[in-house]
Amino acid sequence: MWKTSKIQRFQKEFLSWFKVNGRKHLPWRIRRTPYGTWISEIMLQQTRVETVIDYFNRFMTRFPTIEDLARAPEEAVLKSWEGLGYYSRARNLKAAAETIMSDYQGEMPQRYSELIKLKGIGPYTAGAIASMAFGERVPAIDGNAMRVASRLFEIEQDIGDSKSFKLFWQIIAALLPAENPGVFNEALMDLGSAICTPQNPACPECPVQTECAAFKHGTTGQFPVKKRKTKVRNIYYLAYALQDPAGELLLERRPDQGLLAKMWQFPLVEIEKKEYLKLRETIDEGQRAHFAASLAESALVSEAAPDLWLEKEEEPFAAQCTPFPIGEVIHLFSHRRWHILLYLGKTEKLPLKEGEIWSDEERKRRLPLSKVQQKLDQLLAGPA
């Protein structure tokens, strides 16, 4: 580790750079509050800053206090998260807000050691809130901070290995100033996202270039070290936009646990890859227009369409479906890639099972829909 004099010089150069170049326009920085810091940091996980700004502003208007969030129906919180993905973040936010109301008299805990006990708050978020909102001298270690530190010190440890976290924590903790550690953490994030980027870092513009070992040795491309690659699993589905005689669409609610828990979607049926690829060759986009007309007129899709039985989990239900899919949606999650062929269909208004509803457009707009469902909706709507 560096000597104290070098650390002090580094802090000075780095914070002067941030004063001029930091992203001051971000709404959660303009008026820094513990609650706003928490919401923004959760939203920023896996999501670009530009995307988060609008979501953050809307969320803070809809749920201006921790109490508002704790009292809101979970579906309303999910709705406000629609399109951001990783919906467990929204469910955890609400659960943690309830805990803050019941166990902390509605006040956000101030210490890292307390924050980390709340649902959905991990070491990074606890560090960000404790340092930025309450001035505690703790690091906030995300991918940006790790990348910068690994290049500054040419750290050989794999950043994907959980055992490396302690080392990064110690190194960044040693760099933190006693005053305004939160500003230092913000500066590290901005440096990582704007200059010390994963590919082709802009070293000539970097304020800490003279201290950077990787720059000095021409090894920036070798850091950070990341050995394990995430393996993505492909899953194949058929989705059904099924319309009842009144023109309403059948929607199902996903289970309470797991991917996209509690979000609403068209019924999905998983199939084998081989079968999927065969059906994929038969995509007929022309059928969408027939369906759109039928939605408007509440008429059958096509009198000539063959009956098709959808095998649901317990019992099948009858639906007259388009013989061919109208299109395909592919959506990548962190570890999974969903491939979906969309069929259109008409069906009788059968008794609903738990977690199913018939929905008109107005009701659908109020439900929390995942990004995948939004893509299916767009496919249904056709080219703008």
Cα separation, 174 vs 177, whole angstroms: 8
Rule CB under 6 A: is residue 151 a binding residue for ligand SF4?
yes
Clarify whether 41 is annotated catalytic: yes
Which residue, 91 or 147, has its beta carbon nearer to ligand SF4? 147
User: Within a 10 A sphere around the Cβ of 63, how many other Cβ atoms?
Assistant: 22
Cα separation, 99 vs 118, whole angstroms: 7
Span from 168-176, 204-212, 258-266, 283-291 in contact with ligand SF4 (CB under 6 A):
204-212
CA-closest candidate to residue 152, choices 344, 7, 25, 366: 7
* Nearest distance in Å: CB 169, ligand SF4: 19
Q: Which of 93, 115, 159, 195 binds ligand SF4 (CB under 6 A)?
A: 195
Q: Which of 21, 33, 209, 374 binds ligand SF4 (CB under 6 A)?
A: 209
Rule CB under 6 A: is residue 21 a binding residue for ligand SF4?
no
Rule CB under 6 A: is residue 33 a binding residue for ligand SF4?
no
Rule CB under 6 A: is residue 263 a binding residue for ligand SF4?
no
Cα separation, 166 vs 69, whole angstroms: 33
Rule CB under 6 A: is residue 150 a binding residue for ligand SF4?
no
Taking each helix axis from N to C end, the angle separating 34-44 and 123-134, rounded to the nearest 10 degrees, works out to 150
Cα separation, 54 vs 255, whole angstroms: 28
Instruction: Estimate to the nearest angstrom the gap between the alpha carbon of 248 and the chain centroid.
Output: 30
Rule CB under 6 A: is residue 148 a binding residue for ligand SF4?
yes
Rule CB under 6 A: is residue 215 a binding residue for ligand SF4?
yes
Rule CB under 6 A: is residue 203 a binding residue for ligand SF4?
yes
Span from 158-166, 199-207, 263-271, 300-308 in contact with ligand SF4 (CB under 6 A):
199-207
Q: Which of 100, 183, 206, 263 binds ligand SF4 (CB under 6 A)?
A: 206
Question: b or e along 335-370 (b: 16 or more beta carbons within 10 Å of the residue's beta carbon)?
Answer: eeebbbbbbbbbbeeeeeeeebebbeeeebeebbbb
Total binding residues toward ligand SF4, as defined by CB under 6 A: 14
Whether 263 and 369 have beta carbons less than 8 Å apart is answered as yes
Cα separation, 13 vs 169, whole angstroms: 21
Which residues are marked as active site?
Answer: 41
Residues that bind ligand SF4 (CB under 6 A): 148, 151-152, 195-196, 201, 203, 206, 208-209, 212, 214-215, 220
